Amino acid sequence: MTVAALTQLLAGATRIVAFTGAGISTESGIPDFRSPGGIWTRYDPREFTFDRYVVSAEVRRRSWAMRRELLAGAHEPNAAHRALAELEDAGRLVAVVTQNTDGLHQAAGSREVVEIHGTSRAVTCIGEPTSGVPAGCGFRAPASWAFERIDGGDDDPRCPDCDGLVKSATVSFGQAMFPDALEAAAEHATSADVLLTIGSSLQVYPAAGLPQAARSAGASLAIVNDEPTPFDALADVVVRGRAGEVLPGAVADALGR
Q: Tell me which residues touch Zn ion (CB under 5 A).
A: 125, 137, 139, 159, 161-162, 164
Pairwise CA distance, residues 115 & 98, whole Å: 5
Half-sphere exposure of 253 (CA within 13 A, CB side): 13
- Closer residue to Zn ion in complex, CB, 125/214: 125
- Closer residue to Zn ion in complex, CB, 116/125: 125
Question: Rg for the chain (alpha carbons), in Å?
Answer: 19
- Closer residue to Zn ion in complex, CB, 44/161: 161
Q: Which of 81, 105, 117, 188 is catalytic?
A: 117
Burial label, 253 (beta-carbon count in 10 A; 0-12, 13-18, 19+): middle
Least distance in angstroms from the C-beta of 119 to Zn ion: 18
Least distance in angstroms from the C-beta of 161 to Zn ion: 5
SS3 state of residue 63? helix
What's the length of the chain?
257
- Closer residue to Zn ion in complex, CB, 159/169: 159
**What is the DSSP pairing of strand 16-20 with strand 113-115?**
unpaired
Pairwise CA distance, residues 32 & 40, whole Å: 9
Pairwise CA distance, residues 34 & 199, whole Å: 13
- Closer residue to Zn ion in complex, CB, 159/235: 159
Question: Which is nearest to 64 in space by CA: 131, 147, 5?
Answer: 147
Least distance in angstroms from the C-beta of 162 to Zn ion: 3
Strand-pairing partners, residue 198, are 20, 224
Q: Is the dihedral of CA 42, 48, 52, 57 positive or negative?
A: positive
Residue 188: active-site member: no
Least distance in angstroms from the C-beta of 157 to Zn ion: 11
Least distance in angstroms from the C-beta of 195 to Zn ion: 37
Q: Which residues are catalytic?
A: 117
